Amino acid sequence: MGLTDFQNGLFICICVSALLAYYATRPPRNTPPSFASYRWPILGNAFSLPRKDGHIAYKRLGEQLGSKMFYFEVLGHSILIINDVEVARDLLEKRSAIYSCRPQLKMLTDVIGIKFLFGTMPYGEMWRNHRRVFQQHFSPKNIQGVHSRAVEFARKGLLPNIHQSSEDIYEHIKSFVGGVTLSLTYGLPVRRFNDPLVRESKEVFETANATALPGKYLVNQLPWLQHIPDWMPFTGFKEDGRQIRRQLLNLMERPFDESLKRMESGNIPECFVAESLREHQDGPDFEKQKTCVKEVALQVFSIAFEADVAGLMTLILAMAAHPEAQRKAQQEIDSVVGLHRLPDFSDKESLPYVNAMLKEVLRWNPIIPLGVPHLTTDVDEYEGYHIPKDCVVMANAYAMLHDETIFVDPEKFEPERFIKDGKINRNIPDPDDFATFGFGRRICPGSHIGLSMLYIVAVSILAVYDISPALSDAEGNPIPIVPKFRAMAVTCMPEPFRCKLTPRKDKNVEGLLKDYLGYEFI
């Protein structure tokens, strides 16, 4: 058979397979409402999907349909969007037995061959073991270790970096997040600014996370593409996969091996790798657990980059765009902490406005606006609607946190919505545990770590710096800041903006920082 005949035969097989899949997966008539009245053969509702900012578009579509959830199909895949928190709780929490699996990103799990990430791992024994290993060290009851490391990196790294270069806040935030997580995970010394391993990790994780971008790799929608021979056209994704795999495995092995060397020499602080390995070193399955620890360590290190950086940059944007909220937070910090020391976690409960402001940051721009998708493992019925097996279920955190019936003027940044009589208003849903970090058994296990970093960065910076728009010319005209956000593979980041951080005139900033300016490594 010649090449042309082979290609023709392959094309016919693909068409027949796709048609069979189409007819085999036609939805029953009582599925939830759909935003498109017509389904194309094979493609389903693909042409009706929003091209960008799906979380915003899905909120509007739900409002147009008058429904708290709606359903559509793309290339034979069933997808359910939930815009209401009570529906999400009913399904993802109360019926978690069939809603706790994850859809597989074939580019990541099959082509690249990385199957151990929390976000894509199917619900089962492997997931439970990995999560158990994570929680044994990073549970909320062990948060003091996170607090002390975050304070250390804020004082010895973040604030001195800002002192040295006040307009590179994005780079300083990345250095802070990468440094804290690298130290917590592997116990390795970190260069105060532009650490080589932190820099390399950011680049690798950004490349790997891009495998989840809609439309970037068609193999995620058409898994059979992975079986096409490499010599055929349109198989460049395979070489991408091999390169990403090499980078990820190298990044997993190198810091882990360095931690092992430091453990042998007795020169390692308390960290996830050291504590976890010591706990299992006398067990019969040590090698298996060692592999698990290594895999979890890579995830701890990687997850923080996009999510925590997105949250912290949203904080900086909010302060630059809303100076009145910034001033209120600074006044509260000064009244509680005074003028002669830097804030720490012992001050947190005495700072209701700051806490309200941080809740508003998470509500205003949810860092994972569409949540991490769930997958049904069985058919289900809800309020008279049929939800099929293997249906991808997405809880639209943006829609829930911008629900006008709960949060008045949801597009407005207004920390006061969480305050009543000078205290946190417990009658308003708290974004700390309301949609922001997911639902059910797959809720983010490290949310308390992210919240800790958000708090210490906020109070540390606001205690000594003013955040304002950057200046555009020699006359000192400020560049207007119009808050805009862009959805990435999973997270939602502020669009690039320019701001400057200047030492507060009412504070002895040099005196507050003098003990922390000389560190090259932390």
Please enumerate, by residue number, every residue annotated as part of a binding site for heme: 444
Distance between CA 54 and CA 70 in Å, rounded? 14
CA 293, 294, 297, 298 torsion: positive or negative?
negative
Q: Which residues of 237-269 are buried (b: 16+ CB within 10 A; e: fewer)?
A: bbebbeebbebbeebbeebbebbbebbeeeebe
Q: How many CA atoms lie within 13 A of 504 on its CB side?
A: 22
| Residue of 90, 19, 103 whose CA lies nearest to 372 | 103
CA distance 297 to 459: 28
Q: Are 485 and 319 a contacting pair, CB within 8 Å?
A: no
Binding site members? 444
Question: Which residues have CB under 8 Å from 319's CB, separation 6+?
Answer: 325, 326, 329, 462, 467
By CB atoms closer than 10 A (0-12, 13-18, 19+), residue 195 is buried
* Beta-strand pair 69-74/380-382: unpaired
Nearest Cα residue to 358 out of 312, 422, 300:
312
- 8 Å CB contact between 351 and 333: yes
Structure tokens at 298: 């890579």
Q: Are residues 197 and 182 in contact, defined by beta-carbon separation less than 8 angstroms?
A: yes
Q: Which two tokens stand for residue 356?
A: 């309200």
Residues in the chain, overall count = 522
List, as one string, the DSSP characters of 42-109: TTBTGGGS-SS-HHHHHHHHHHHHT-SEEEEEETTEEEEEE--HHHHIIIIITTHHHH-B----HIII
CA distance 121 to 109: 9
Contact by Cβ (8 Å): 207, 247: yes
Residue 448 CA to residue 147 CA, distance in Å, equals 10
Q: How many helices and strands, by DSSP H and E, does the chain display?
A: 18, 12
Which phi-psi region, left, alpha or beta, contains residue 238 (left: φ > 0; alpha: ψ -120 to 50)?
A: alpha
CA 129 and chain centroid, separation: 22
Amino acid symbol at 187: G
